[in-house]
Structure 1
């Protein structure tokens, strides 16, 4: 009888969890319906593709942020890493370096910045907030030094395809976003490394006792975040046909917001890449819809702030229900 009760509780927990997962998607659909009713210009193919294109950069940043937040960390440097990786790629391109080498160099810069974040946190014992805040300043300053605070223009026409091209009617950045979401979603949910990430976020002491190399896992998580930021930076430079040291200012906040709105717990141990993508689309849709309705950008920030607070409140309720089931 006791086993039947446990099975019943587990089933109820899974049903509740699935409803929560669907709730995020339903929220996005409801938002789309509301905006389409308020403006005939919203629900058009061109506008939907515009939303997807504008969301791609934030979504890719948010994939890396999801990994970090699941481990109970935070990465405030992704916007600055985006900028420095973009300008390194742009600088190499204008100096005649082949596109593929320039792109790899930009990705390596992002990965190295992420490694330094992980090293500072694991070996130097610096809190993630402080370590990544320092890297935010270092990376942004490096971008200014490299460019002299001037945009890098004259990038090769072929480079534009990465951020501004399309396959059929689908923009390349949108395709890359979904491919990266599939790859890193699989890595998180179906591999040993992904299990280590969840275990680390749920209970670091238990992870250590289980024999997990906690420091190595943390470093790799921040490397992933850095590479995702570099990918977004290269994509943005390509789309603008210009690498700018001011690119990505404030993007770290949108990336964190997308992950949290998508259900990644700020306390760690819970989160999914696919839901983060939905969270990014919620932000993108909200901004686009309010812009079409000619709502001031300051009010848009206020609206996004309320959505973040509601998302965190929902996570708090979810954790309370989970504790009761257990």
Structure 2
């Protein structure tokens, strides 16, 4: 008679368990340190604030599964927002603004993909350059000031909420479930995981690894630009600093939830959303307490270090449980 080791240790360190524990700790801290933390108005503000990062997170988790990490996401979001606002002012057509923002996103994605896939520049380096370049384009196009782009109907539609939760965010959660299903149960998802795990082995198996990664760069940048236009539709203006720090929030949430910058991991879109909400709640607690917001960047950096350390712990716990022979 043989018995298998109980996977209780790995269950406790699973991405969703870790994400929920992280969220619970943040909520307790919010209740203790900020009396208005649980007010409907405050929760509604936090939920609205993560709409654009949450949309980007969905495609970022697809990209990270395939081994693509794009550091220019926040700048591309800002670029999409200012392009949408500028074209809307010139044409008075929201559709033209969205089309222009989408075109800008596709152009950025193609540029990143060529640098990374064709010229073999490490994605983090290639997209770091685009982070700076796109932010410079935002300043040039906007002239260093906010660009008004208020459309009452679109703004009201995007602010529709169920209690403190925007309807758009509910849709994002539904899409997160769909993304998880695609990655785990579809042929394309299997190919994506193969490319993120070992692209050389994937190419030998007949999977077009380079083509998939090029598409991932384009799709991530496209969605980031569209998320920027949605953010401007909701708020009615494109600020010069729109999107700053979004890449840190998104990748911080994904790293905590079990993803790896080098590709793959055991996280999910849902666990990533949970961590994203927790990180935004931390920023909210700082605002409610009147603390300097730059301190949140320090805390986020420490959180990222903790996420990497946690991933190492997961690996060390999981390996003995898998390798341990059955005894009886």
In the superposition, the TM-score normalised over structure 1's length comes to 0.87
How has the CA–CA distance of structure 1 residues 72 and 316 changed in structure 2, closer, same or farther, with 3 Å as cutoff?
Answer: farther
Q: 1:182 Cα shift?
A: 3.4
Match of 1:319 in 2: 315
SS of 1:95's equivalent in the other structure is helix
Match of 2:201 in 1: 206
Q: 1:14 Cα shift?
A: 9.4
Give the root-mean-square deviation of aligned CA atoms: 2.5
Structure 1 residue 229 and structure 2 residue 224: aligned? Answer: yes
Structure 1 residue 307 and structure 2 residue 303: aligned? Answer: yes
What is the alpha-carbon distance in structure 2 between the residues aligned to residue 150 and residue 28 of structure 1? 36
Could you list the per-position Cα deviations for residues 1-23 of structure 1 after superposition, in whole angstroms to 9, with x for gaps in the alignment? 7xx56xx35x6289627744223
Match of 2:74 among 73, 79, 97: 79
Match of 1:30 in 2: 25
Equivalent positions of 1:80-95 (< 5 A) are 80-95=75-90
How has the CA–CA distance of structure 1 residues 26 and 13 changed in structure 2, closer, same or farther, with 3 Å as cutoff?
Answer: closer
Q: 1:304 Cα shift?
A: 1.9
Structure 1 residue 174 and structure 2 residue 169: aligned? Answer: yes
Structure 1 residues 217-226 or 188-197, which shifts more? 188-197
What is the alpha-carbon distance in structure 2 between the residues aligned to residue 69 and residue 154 of structure 1? 33
Equivalent positions of 1:53-202 (< 5 A) are 53-161=48-156, 163=158, 165-169=159-163, 170-202=165-197
Unmatched runs of 5 consecutive residues or more in structure 2: 324-328
What is the alpha-carbon distance in structure 1 between the residues aligned to residue 72 and residue 160 of structure 2? 29
How has the CA–CA distance of structure 1 residues 82 and 192 changed in structure 2, closer, same or farther, with 3 Å as cutoff?
Answer: same
What is the alpha-carbon distance in structure 1 between the residues aligned to residue 213 and residue 157 of structure 2? 30
How has the CA–CA distance of structure 1 residues 176 and 115 changed in structure 2, closer, same or farther, with 3 Å as cutoff?
Answer: farther
What is the alpha-carbon distance in structure 1 between the residues aligned to residue 121 and residue 109 of structure 2? 14
What is the alpha-carbon distance in structure 1 between the residues aligned to residue 78 and residue 306 of structure 2? 31
In the superposition, the TM-score normalised over structure 2's length comes to 0.87
Query: Any conservation in 2 of the 1:64–1:226 contact (CA below 8 Å)?
Result: no
Q: 1:290 Cα shift?
A: 2.7
Match of 1:298 in 2: 294
Query: Any conservation in 2 of the 1:93–1:156 contact (CA below 8 Å)?
Result: no
What is the alpha-carbon distance in structure 2 between the residues aligned to residue 306 and residue 73 of structure 1? 23
Segments ≥4 residues shifted beyond 4 Å? 17-20
SS of 1:193's equivalent in the other structure is helix
Query: Any conservation in 1 of the 2:10–2:318 contact (CA below 8 Å)?
Result: no
What is the alpha-carbon distance in structure 1 between the residues aligned to residue 99 and residue 183 of structure 2? 24
SS of 1:42's equivalent in the other structure is coil
Equivalent positions of 1:267-278 (< 5 A) are 267-270=262-265, 271-278=267-274
What is the alpha-carbon distance in structure 2 between the residues aligned to residue 32 and residue 128 of structure 1? 35
Unmatched runs of 5 consecutive residues or more in structure 1: none
SS of 2:37's equivalent in the other structure is coil
Match of 1:43 among 38, 41, 46: 38
